[in-house]
Amino acid sequence: MPSLTLLGQSVLSGVFIGALYGLLGLGLTLSWGLLRQINLAHFALVFLGAYLNYQLASAGLDPLLTLAVTAPAFFVFGVALHWLLARFSVSPLNTLLVTFGFMVMIESLIQWIWTADFRRMENHYGNVRWKVGELYVPLPELLTLIVAAALAYGVWALLRYTDLGKAMRAASEDAPVAAAFGINEKRLALLLSGACAAFAAVAGVCLALSHTLAPAQIYAWIGVVFAAVMIGGLGNPVGALVAGIVIGVSEALTMALIAPAWAPLVSFTLLIAYLLFRPHRLA
């Protein structure tokens, strides 16, 4: 049995990694829940964002400032992606295939520019950490948690309380009827798709701050992040974050109490259990 401090530290790191799951899941849950698109390219975008961040930071730019470049650029990509999918009226399942193609292309691009080697961003945030009681709190991870919580809550409130958010939910429920009530659902969808891609840029910064990067790792995030998205409820940004943290903490405890190598099974087990016992919560 590991010491209490060790357990506390691993729960804390579980919360931090879970926040990253939730942040990656934010764009996914919105595009799946509201646009009926399952966007695998999102993962590749997050990594592209992280690599761009790495590149610009090596040139001396503050990691957080690089967002001013990457977020608008990704927004445009998201708009273009949705335009393409809508133009060819791609079915929900086929969006999975088309974005799979984009994921492979972006992965090849990353590998071509930055090679398959591991890259680690050196920056002044990485070395800052505080000691709270017995526990260490690193700044990059804390930043991720704050950003993830703020974005998730912000998007949730936007969807719930503003006219724009209500229009988006109406358009996703029944686009033709929403259009008949004067909602420009096509433009809203483009906007939303762009926003999802911009969220990928934000997640990319957080990923680069706290993780070592390699192109092949894109695939490693898919299972666990989608588990968070599904357990959290499609289209529910706060749900994805909470589910992400639950998964993150369970993984961390598995690592501490059993063995690190078994952690990848945790999200899958949770998801299967969820599907078995709460199948009606989906959709």
Partner 1 sequence: MKPLALFAAVGAAFAVVPFLGLPAFYESFLYLVFHWIVLATSWNLLSGYSGYFSFGHAAFFGAGVYSTAVLAGKAGWPFLLTLPVAAAVPAALGVALGAIVFRLPALRGELFALITLALMFVFATIVLNTPLDGGPGVYMSAVEVPALAPTPSGSFYLLALILALGTVGIAYSVYRSRFGTGLFAIHDDEDVAEVMGVPTYRYKLAALALSCALAGLAGGIHGVFVSYVTVGETFSGWLALNVILMAALGGTRHWAGPAVGAAAVTVMTFYFTTSDYAIAGRALVGLIFIVVILFMPNGLLGRFAVRKPLAARSEATAAGTIAVQGKREEPILVVRGAKKAFKGVQALAGVDLEVRRGEILGLVGPNGSGKSTLINVVSGHYPIDGGSMVFEGRELAGQAPHRVARSGIARTYQIPRPFAHLSVLENVALPPMFGQVRMDRRAAQAEAWRWLAFTGLEKKALQFPKDLNLHERKFLELARALASRPKLLFLDEVLSGLTPSEIDGAVRTIRAIREQGATIVFVEHVMRAVMELTDRVVVLTNGRSIAQGAPREVMRDPQVIDAYLGSAHA
Question: Where does this chain bind partner 1 (CB under 8 A)?
Answer: 32, 38, 84, 88, 90, 92-94, 96-98, 100-105, 107-109, 111-112, 219-220, 222-223, 226-227, 230, 259, 261-262, 264-265, 267-268, 271-272, 275-276, 279-280, 282-283
User: Which residue, 105 or 177, has its beta carbon nearer to partner 1?
Assistant: 105
Cβ-based neighbours of 141, under 8 Å, separated by 6 or more: 13, 16, 19, 210
Q: DSSP states of 230-243 as a string? A: HHH-TT-HHHHHHH
Closer to partner 1 by Cβ: residue 172 or 267:
267
Longest dimension (CA), the chain: 63
Contact (CB, 8 A) for 157 and 167: no
Q: How far is the CB of 261 from partner 1 (least distance, A)?
A: 5
Amino acid at 5: T
Pick the closer one to partner 1 by CB: 90 or 175.
Answer: 90
Taking the complex as a whole, how short is the minimal distance between the CB of residue 249 and partner 1, in angstroms?
Answer: 19
- The torsion angles phi and psi of 119, rounded to 5 degrees, stand at -125, 140
Looking at beta carbons only, is 100 or 136 nearer to partner 1?
Answer: 100
Residue 5 vs 108, nearer CB to partner 1: 108
How far apart are CB 105 and partner 1 at their closest, in Å? 4
Copy the structure tokens of residue 280.
């009606």
Considering the complex, what minimum distance in angstroms separates the CB of residue 101 from partner 1? Answer: 4
Which CB, 118 or 219, lies closer to partner 1? 219
Q: Give the separation between CA 142 and CA 133, rounded to whole angstroms.
A: 16
Cα separations in angstroms, 67 against 102, 121, 181, 200, 239 = 22, 15, 36, 11, 25
Q: Cβ(260)–Cβ(252) under 8 Å?
A: no
Q: How far is the CB of 263 from partner 1 (least distance, A)?
A: 8
Q: Minimum distance from CB of 109 to partner 1 (Å)?
A: 7
